[in-house]
Amino acid sequence: FARRARIAEKLAAIGELSGGLAHEIRSPLNGASLQLQLLERRISRVSSDPALLGPIEMVQSELNRLSHLVEDFLSFARPVELDLHRFDLPTLLAQVAELLAPEAATHGIELRAELPGAGLVYEGDRHKLQQVLINVVRNAIEALEHTGGDIVVSLVGPEDGMLALRVTDDGPGIPEDIRSRVFEPFFSTKAMGTGLGMAICHALVQRHGGAIHIRCDGGTEVDILLPAPVAGDAAPDRA
């Protein structure tokens, strides 16, 4: 027990240290990115030489990637604090589909929401559940980006006290031998992946008393399971 407590203490210290480091990296990174944008604007006023603008764009995209990594890492290192509100779940699903449909369309992917007509009031952290959905749908987009295909966002249940936010894609699926690893932090099969998306989703959903189930049968079906709201609950909070 003493040994385990010591390990937990060390891990917490490492988490704090790296969280602090990520935070410190954020502001110079944003500063550099801003200066580079200004430089790009100045250069493009006097020249359209790709030998000048090409490298700038390259650095810009690398800075973007680094910034995503830092943001992902920060939401991973931070303890999850929920900010609870009542909100309409089908509306959230529809909004996420609407938000990402244009990005999906550029890869020949049709992203749509199939939702019940009636509303469903849920009490949870709307912003964090939106982050979970965006991460899961982004993975579906990335699985289809070279082939095109379909992504459907839907709502299942409530049934037996649970409901599921379901995201299905008709992509290649996740090979059996790595399916148990997708929630591991930094596990990624992508050249540009951070491997933090599903780890963050897992933590956020768990904090809501839920779980994430993945089923692959041809494509991939991700169920974000949440405890169902108690029937007869009041109206959503004002947005």
Which residues make up the interface to ligand ADP (CB under 6 A)? 135, 139-140, 143, 169, 171, 174, 182, 187-190, 193-199, 220
How far apart are alpha carbons 33 and 39 in whole angstroms?
A: 10
Query: Are the CB atoms for 210 and 226 separated by under 8 Å?
Result: yes
User: H/E element holding 157?
Assistant: strand 149-159
- Closer to ligand ADP at the Cβ: 164 or 198? 198
Region from 3-11, 54-62, 106-114, 138-146 binding Mg ion, contact rule CB under 5 A = 138-146
Query: Are the CB atoms for 39 and 163 separated by under 8 Å?
Result: no
User: H/E element holding 121?
Assistant: strand 121-124
- Closer to Mg ion at the Cβ: 53 or 134? 134
Residue nearest to ligand ADP (CB): 197
According to the binding rule CB under 5 A, does residue 185 interact with Mg ion? Answer: no
- Closer to Mg ion at the Cβ: 171 or 197? 197
- Closer to ligand ADP at the Cβ: 104 or 139? 139
How far apart are alpha carbons 27 and 203 in whole angstroms?
A: 26
CA 151 from centroid of its chain's CA atoms: 16
Query: Are the CB atoms for 99 and 225 separated by under 8 Å?
Result: no
Q: Figure out which of the listed residues 139, 163, 224, 225 binds Mg ion, where binding follows CB under 5 A.
A: 139
Residues that bind Mg ion (CB under 5 A): 139, 197
